[in-house]
Chain A
Amino acid sequence: MKLVAVGVSHRTAPVELREAVDFSRAGLDAAVSALASRNVAREAVVVSTCNRAEIYAASDADAAGDVCARFIAEYHALPWDRVAPHIFMLRGADAARHLFRVAAGLDSLVVGEPQILGQVKDAFAAATGVKHTGALTNRLFNTAFTVGKRVRSETGLGEGAVSVSYAAIALARKIFRDLKGLNVLILGAGEMAELTGVHLQAQQVKQITIASRTLATAEALATQLGGRAVPWSALSSALTAADIVVTATGATEPVLTRAGIEESMRPRRGRPLFIIDIALPRDVEPDAGSLGQVFLYNIDDLQAIVQENMARRTAELERAERIVNEELGRFTSWMQSREIVPTVIALRQRFETIRQSELQRLEPKMAGLPPEARARLDEITHLIIEKLLLTPTEQLKAINDETMAVAYADAVNKLFSLGAEEPPQAADADRKRTERVS
């Protein structure tokens, strides 16, 4: 059984093609079943996300990779010429390494993003559901899950927000326990205000209030976000009620002064206020940040956090790759020990056949022996074979280099002519006995 990985990813294909070959639309299990009906791979898993469509297959046929590649085009009714230039194909350990890096988020567009591990798990579950996985894919995917989990818990690869809006939301979570019960005030109704509003709405805050110089634009945005609009004159009372304030007006002078914020803090009884100033020029007087329970972050502060997080993620890359290599080493030595297993079994069977045939041949001469002596003879011959085979078996199983394993397997096959039905000597020795036994 050989492992092969074929597919397209954001590294090899443009987004239009990736969209066209998305397997998840019709269900991953349907895709696996369709592939299974082609009888080319005994085990196969289809991984499909918006950034990749990949097939991991275990097959004895060398052509399995090509068949899977063509399957990607044919399943989506695309001309092969359109898909072919973007296909990548990896075999054996390279295929395993690729999956491990995918599961760890190392191959993702945003390195370290956490969703991919869940998507890989879903892909495997779908293939297991239609019973198209086996020993090799089981081991492969379970190792991939281990890699994903280890990278997440042992490195800081997935840590820290890497976009300004997520940095702001992460900060809000460190100030307030839960965003669900919070009142958000957005100043301004432009594009930036809208974008932030959408992000905050996704966090299910209690109430979004929008204030703008022109009430009509505020109302328009409020309808879109499911919030309410207040006139600019009601700003100070809206400020008192708010927990998070986002300022994104086009004003050239600060719209929130330190004095104004201090005024609104008084009735709050120490309730913290998180102000996110994403406007340029700034909407909030910078020294308002020195007020007791006021946390003021402007766009530059947030960008600095994002950059710091990016740098930290890069520093963690090396540790993540080390984990991938560690698990890959373990997986490949398991895979190679599996390759030598059929040879070892054949070798032992050959020895056992010889022993049995020799015992059979001596049968007439042993007829006079008491049963205990015959049992003893059986035991001794068995032990001799066990002892003779012990070291070669151990040595063969210990090979953890693929080319060496193949070379050894070939040599052993040739030396004992394991491919043949019967060893020539035994066949010559007693043809009649063979007929009788069979």
Chain B
Amino acid sequence: MILTAWLPVVLYAAAAAAYLVNFARKNARAGRAATALLAGGVLAHTFLIGMQTMEAGYAPLVGTTAAVSAFVWLLGLAYLYVELTTDERAMGLFVTILLAGLAVLPALHPALEPRPALLRSPLFTLHIVSVLFAYASFALACVLGVTYVLLFKEIKAKHLGFFYDRLPSLQTLDVMNGRAVVVGWIFLTCGLAIGGIWASQLHAVVDPHVQSMNVGDPKILIAVLSWAMYSFALFARRTIGWTGRRAAWLSAIGFAIVLLNFLPVGYFLTRSHNF
């Protein structure tokens, strides 16, 4: 079990190393190897999550660690989809570093949390999956934004070098960033709405978690804040022309908030989401 728990981490890290070689040396063979390793990692991860589901009888989504695992899996899948449809590997390095880093958490704590009776609802699974998918989209948007800024700075400084040779055009990065934010925003909106409906259904249940399910809880508060942030990013892009560098910064800050909410707040601060 320990071996299967670490296998995805090892494969993600190997993929990151191969993406690095592909990026730094522009080596096409390393690029293909990287994609294969990442696909292998996602496959091993799928197997792991499948085993856990069989073992527990429910999808392993209870608790922050399990959610991180599911997030990594979704992000890996989403990135693979983007890479295969756009034939653009430059983002792989940044994404796999994030994957390998985050996948360490579930590998360190492979034991599943028992599912409290409270969470036995299809709405719970829907809520978690939509929110995690939104986070995966925002992670991609963040990577696209960061690379946009790196390339932008090189072109502005008239010193064409490392990133100029390796990244797609600014407009491509900007358009992809915009799409990722739209997809993420739709899923976050659904996830939050489902969460709200589900919480109102639980209204009568006497449980400290349920009592904390209001905007005063840090996890819920920051989630609503990040929704507001991405809503602004969408609005700004469409109406006042905040594209390019501004949009890139917004998506980087947005994902920083998402990560803050996901990890420190999820582990230590929330009273409503600490199962």
In the docked arrangement, what's the CA distance between A293 and B243, Å?
A: 9
B171 contact from A177, A268, A297, Cβ within 8 A: A177
Q: Contact flags (1/0) for A177-194 with B, using CB distance below 8 Å? A: 100000000000000000
Contact of B244 with A171 in the complex, beta carbons under 8 Å: no
Contact B158 A174 (CB under 8 A): no
Within 8 A of B (CB), among A253-305: 268-272, 289, 292-293, 295, 297, 301, 304-305
* A176: Cβ under 8 A from any B Cβ: yes
CA distance A295 to B243 in the complex (A): 15
Quick check: is B267 within 8 A (CB to CB) of the other chain?
no
B28: Cβ under 8 A from any A Cβ: yes
Task: Give the distance to chain A from B102, nearest Cβ to Cβ, in Å.
Answer: 31
Q: A295-B155, A304-B158 are in contact. Are A174 and B169 (CB under 8 A)?
A: yes
Q: A301 vs B156: C-alpha distance in the bound complex, in angstroms?
A: 11
Which chain A residues border B175 with CB–CB below 8 Å?
177
CB contacts under 8 Å to A, within B147-168, are: 151, 155-156, 158, 160, 164-165, 168
* Residue B172, interface by CB 8 Å: yes
> Of all chain A residues, which has the CB nearest B172?
A177
CA of A413 to CA of B26 in the docked complex: distance in angstroms? 52
Kindly state the interface size class of chain B when it binds its partner: 20 to 34
Within 8 Å by CB of B170, from A159, A272, A301, lies A272
CA distance A271 to B247 in the complex (A): 12
B117 close to chain A: CB less than 8 A: no
* Closest residue on chain B to residue A274 by CB atoms: B155
Q: Is the CB of A175 within 8 A of B158?
A: no
> Which chain A residue has the least Cβ–Cβ distance from B28?
A153
Q: Tell me whether B122 is interfacial, beta carbon within 8 Å.
A: no
Q: Say yes or no: A175 contacts B169, CB within 8 Å.
A: yes
Cross-interface CB contact of A272 among B160, B165, B240, B244, cutoff 8 Å? B244
Q: Please tell me if the beta carbons of A272 and B171 are within 8 angstroms of each other in the complex.
A: yes
Q: Is the CB of B169 within 8 A of A269?
A: no
Least CB distance, A278 to chain B, in whole angstroms? 15
Any A CB within 8 A of the CB of B242? yes
Interface string of A30-50 (1 = CB under 8 A from B): 000000000000000000000
Q: Is A305 within 8 A of B155, CB to CB? A: no
Q: Is A414 an interface residue (CB 8 A)?
A: no
How many Å from the CB of B25 to the closest CB on chain A? 9
Contact A174 B240 (CB under 8 A): no
Does A173 lie at the interface of the complex (its beta carbon under 8 Å from any beta carbon of B)? yes
Interchain residue pairs with CB less than 8 A apart (21):
A159-B165, A171-B160, A173-B169, A174-B151, A174-B164, A174-B170, A175-B155, A175-B169, A176-B169, A176-B170, A176-B171, A177-B169, A177-B171, A177-B175, A268-B241, A269-B243, A272-B171, A295-B156, A297-B158, A304-B158, A305-B160
User: Measured between C-beta atoms, what is the minimum distance from B262 to chain A in Å?
Assistant: 30
B150 CB, min distance to chain A CBs, angstroms:
12
* B164 CB contacts on chain A under 8 angstroms: 174
- Check B156–A269 contact: CB distance below 8 A: no
Residues 188-205 of chain A, each 1 if its beta carbon lies under 8 Å from chain B, else 0: 000000000000000000
Interface residues of A in 136-178 (CB under 8 A from B): 153, 159, 171, 173-177
Report Cα–Cα, A367/B76, bound state, in Å.
Answer: 80
Nearest-Cβ distance from residue A156 to partner chain B, whole angstroms: 8
A-B pair number, CB within 8 angstroms: 52
Residues in A neighbouring B32, C-beta threshold 8 A: none
Residues of A participating in the B interface, judged by any CB pair closer than 8 Å: 153, 159, 171, 173-177, 268-272, 289, 292-293, 295, 297, 301, 304-305, 308
Is residue B209 contacting chain A, with contact meaning CB distance below 8 A? Answer: no
Report B-chain residues with C-beta under 8 Å of the C-beta of A293. Answer: 243-245
B246 contacts A by Cβ under 8 Å: yes
Q: What is the CA–CA distance of A304 and B28 in the complex, to the nearest angstrom?
A: 29
Q: Contact between A175 and B28 (Cβ–Cβ < 8 Å)?
A: no
Contact with A along B235-271 (1 / 0, CB 8 A): 0010011111110000000000000000000000000
Closest Cβ of chain B to A286, distance in Å, is: 11
Q: How far is the CA of A271 from the CA of B244 in the complex (A)?
A: 8
Which chain B residues border A268 with CB–CB below 8 Å? 241
Q: Are B245 and A292 in contact (CB under 8 A)?
A: yes
Contact B240 A269 (CB under 8 A): yes
Shortest A263–chain B CB gap in Å is 15
In the assembled complex, the Cα of A375 lies from the Cα of B86 at a distance in Å of 68
- How distant is A159 from chain B, measured CB to nearest CB, in Å? 7
Smallest Cβ-Cβ distance to A159: which chain B residue: B165
For B236, give the chain A residue with the smallest CB separation: A270
State how many angstroms separate the Cβ of B204 from the closest Cβ of chain A. 50
Encoded as 1 (CB less than 8 Å from any A CB) or 0, chain B from 208 to 250 comes to 0000000000000000000000000000010011111110000
- CA distance in complex: A153, B25 (Å): 10
Q: How far, in angstroms, from A233 to B218 measured CA to CA in the complex? A: 58
Report how far A269 CA is from B241 CA in the complex, Å: 4
Bound complex: CA A301 to CA B172 (Å): 24
| A233: min CB distance to chain B, Å | 26
Q: How far is the CA of A402 from the CA of B241 in the complex (A)?
A: 71
Using Cβ atoms and an 8 Å threshold, which residues of chain B touch A171?
Answer: 155, 160
A269 CA to B178 CA, complexed, in Å:
14
Min CB distance A72 to B, Å, is: 39
Contact A174/B155 with A159-B165, A272-B170 known, Cβ cut-off 8 Å = yes
- B207, chain A: closest CB distance, angstroms: 48
Closest 6 A-B residue pairs measured CB to CB?
A269-B241, A270-B241, A270-B243, A177-B171, A177-B172, A301-B158
A401 and B245 CA atoms in complex are apart in Å by 62
Q: Is the CB of A175 within 8 A of B171?
A: yes
The CB with the most chain B CB atoms within 10 A, among A175, A270, A308, is that of A270
Within the assembled complex, what's the spacing in Å between the Cα atoms of A403 and B28?
41
Contacts of B242 in A (CB 8 A): 270
Distance of B172 from chain A, by nearest CB (Å): 5
- How far does the alpha carbon of A177 sit from the alpha carbon of B174 in the complex, in Å? 10
Identify the closest chain A residue to B29 (Cβ): A153
Q: Are A270 and B246 in contact (CB under 8 A)?
A: yes
Q: Chain B nearest CB: distance from A267 CB in Å?
A: 9
